[in-house]
Amino acid sequence: MTEAARRSDPGRAPPSRSPLRRAEEGRLRRRYAAEARFRLYGMLAVGAALAMLGLLLVKIAAAGYSGFTQTFVALDVAYDPAVLDPAGGRDPSALGGADYDGLIKQALGDLFPEATSRGDRRALNGLVSSGAAYALRQRILDDPARIGDSERVWVPAASAVDMLVKGFVPRDGGEAERGLSDRQVAWLDALSAAGRLERRFNAAFFVNGDSREPELAGVGGALAGTFLTMLVTLALSFPLGLATAVYLEEFAAKNRMAALIEVNVNNLAAVPSIVFGLLGLAILLGYFGLPRSAPLVGGMVLALMTLPTIIIAGRAALQAVPPSIREGALAIGASKLQVVAHHVLPLALPGILTGAIIGMARALGETAPLLMIGMVAFIVDVPHGPTDPATVLPVQVFLWADNPERGFVEKTSAAILVLLGFLAVMNALAVLLRRRFERRW
C-alpha cells in the first residue's frame, strides 16, 4: 500500500516494526536517558559545591563583617599643660612620656562623679581600651598646639564593651558571661543615651599590627608582610620558572636527562608544603644564617614551592602554540632564539601569566612552610623592608583562631575576608592579564 493510501485510511494499523528496529530504538532511548541522568548528576554536583561554598562564605561574612566596625566612646578631654608639659618646652620626648592615661581617667570621672570608690573607678576606667591613651598621645605629638585646650575625642571602647554593643553577649546574662558588671552596663546605657557611644568604621583594623587587646589588633602588619613576601616570591620564581620552561620545551634535547628533569619537576609539584619549610629552616636559617620571621626568607621558601607550578604551566602554554607559528618563522629565516622570543613567547604569555598568578595564589594561602621559619612570631610593628620581622595573613588568622578571647573570633573571620579579597584581586588580575595579552589564531 502506498503512503497516500495509508494516510487516507487512518483506521488502518501501522505496519509492525522489525525486532531489530525496536532494539535499536530501545538502545537509543537508554542512551538518551543515561545522558540526561549524567547531566542531572553533574548539575546536582555543581549545585551542591556552590551551596557549600556559599554557606561557608555566608558564615564567615556573618561572623566577620562586624570586625570592620568598632565601638567608640566620646570623652571631653582637657589637655592640662601641668600634666603634659610641665617644663613648657614642647619637647617631643617629654610629650611622648606624659600621663595620657590620667587624662582619660579624669575625663571619665567628670562624666560619672558618683564613682568615688577605688573599685568603681577601676570599673569605670575599664570601659575604654588601653589604647585610648596612645590615641591622645598621637594627637598631641601631631599638633602640640592642642595643649591647654579641651576637645571631644572618640576613643576605642574595651573589647567587652564592643562585644556587648554588637550583641555577641546577652545583656541579660550574668556578669561573668558578659565580662561587665551591672554598674558598668548602667554607665554604658547613660553614655548611649547621651550620644557618647557609637559604632564606627574601624580604619585602625587595616593599619595596626597585632595586639593582645582585640579592639587594638589589626591586619596592617600582616598585609605589609604578605605584600613583601609575595614580592620576593614573584621576583624569584617567575624569571626562573619561565626560563626553565622555555629551555625544557624549546631548547633542551629530548634525552634521558630532560626526561629525568621533567619527572622531578612534576614530583616537586606534589611535595607537601611543610617539606619546603623544613628545607628553609635547615638551609636558609641554619646554614646561611638569614633572619628568622623575615619576608625575605618566607619569599624564598614560597618561591621554591611555586617554581614547579610555574614551570608546568609555562610548558603547557608553550605546547599550546601551533607548530605552524614556529615553522613559518623559521621559513622566513628567523633563528631559534628569535622564533621563541618574538613569536612563541608572546602567544604563550597569557597562559604563562595565568599559571604564575595561580602559583602565587597558592603560595598566598600557605601557612605550614612559614611556621617552620618563624613567621608565627607575635609582630606588633608594621614591617618596612624584606628583612624586618613580619607575619602574613594566613599565619595571622592561625594565631587569632587559637586565641581564647571572645573579641578575636570576629577578628579571625574579618582577617579571612581580607585574605579572600586579596585572592579575588589576584584572580581578577590573572583574568585581566590573560585578556590583555591573549591572541587568537
Residue 201's pLDDT is what?
92
- Are 363 and 302 in contact by the 8 Å Cβ rule? The answer is yes
Cα Rg of the chain, angstroms: 33
Is the CB of residue 315 less than 8 Å from the CB of residue 246? no
DSSP bridge partners of 150:
78
The strands making up 197-201's β-sheet, listed across from edge to edge, are 150-156, 69-78, 197-201
Backbone angles phi, psi at 225, to 5 degrees: -65, -40
Nearest 10 degrees: CA dihedral of 159, 164, 166, 168? Answer: 100
Q: What is the pLDDT along the chain (441 residues), one digit of tens a residue?
A: 455 555 555 555 555 667 777 778 788 888 888 899 999 999 999 999 999 999 988 888 888 888 899 999 999 988 888 888 888 778 888 888 888 898 999 999 989 988 888 888 999 999 999 888 888 888 888 888 888 888 999 999 998 899 989 888 888 777 777 888 889 999 999 999 999 999 999 988 998 888 888 888 999 999 999 999 999 999 999 999 999 999 988 888 888 888 888 888 888 888 888 888 888 888 888 888 888 888 999 999 999 999 998 999 999 999 888 888 888 888 888 888 888 888 888 888 888 888 888 888 888 888 888 888 888 878 888 888 888 888 899 999 988 988 878 888 889 999 999 998 888 888 887 778 777 776 665
**Closest Cα to residue 237, out of 198, 200, 289, 276?**
276
Superfamily grouping for domain 220-437 = MetI-like (1.10.3720.10)
- The per-residue pLDDT for 1 is 47
Q: How many CB atoms lie within 10 A of CB 159?
A: 22
Buried b (16+ CB within 10 A) or exposed e, 396-431: bbbbbeeeebebbbbbbbbbbbbbbebbeeeeeebe
Q: Where are the domains of the chain?
A: 74-201, 220-437
**Which residue in the block uniquely carries the three cell numbers 614556529?**
326
Distances, alpha carbon 70 to alpha carbons 181, 197, 370, 435, in Å: 21, 11, 31, 40
Instruction: Say if residues 417 and 58 touch (Cβ distance below 8 Å).
Output: no
Nearest Cα to Cα of residue 296 among 385, 374, 219, 359: 385
pLDDT score, position 263: 86
Q: What is the 3-state secondary structure of the chain?
A: CCHHHHHHCCCCCCCCCCHHHHHHHHHHHHHHHHHHHHHHHHHHHHHHHHHHHHHHHHHHHHHHHHHHEEEEEEEEEECCHHHHCCCCCCCHHHHHCCCHHHHHHHHHHHHCCCCCCHHHHHHHHCCECCCHHHHHHHHHHHCHHHCCCEEEEEEEECHHHHHHHCCCCCCCCCHHHHCCCHHHHHHHHHHHHCCCEEEEECHHHHCCCCCCCCCCCCCHHHHHHHHHHHHHHHHHHHHHHHHHHHHHHHHCCCCHHHHHHHHHHHHHCCCCHHHHHHHHHHHHHCCCCCCCCCHHHHHHHHHHHHHHHHHHHHHHHHHCCCHHHHHHHHHCCCCHHHHHHHHHHHHHHHHHHHHHHHHHHHHHCCCHHHHHCCCCCCCCCCCCCCCCCCCCHHHHHHHHHCCCCCHHHHHHHHHHHHHHHHHHHHHHHHHHHHHHHCCCC
Give the CA-trace dihedral at 303, 307, 308, 312, to 10 degrees.
140
Instruction: Look up the pTM and report it.
Output: 0.82
Q: How far apart are CA 437 and CA 434, in angstroms?
A: 6
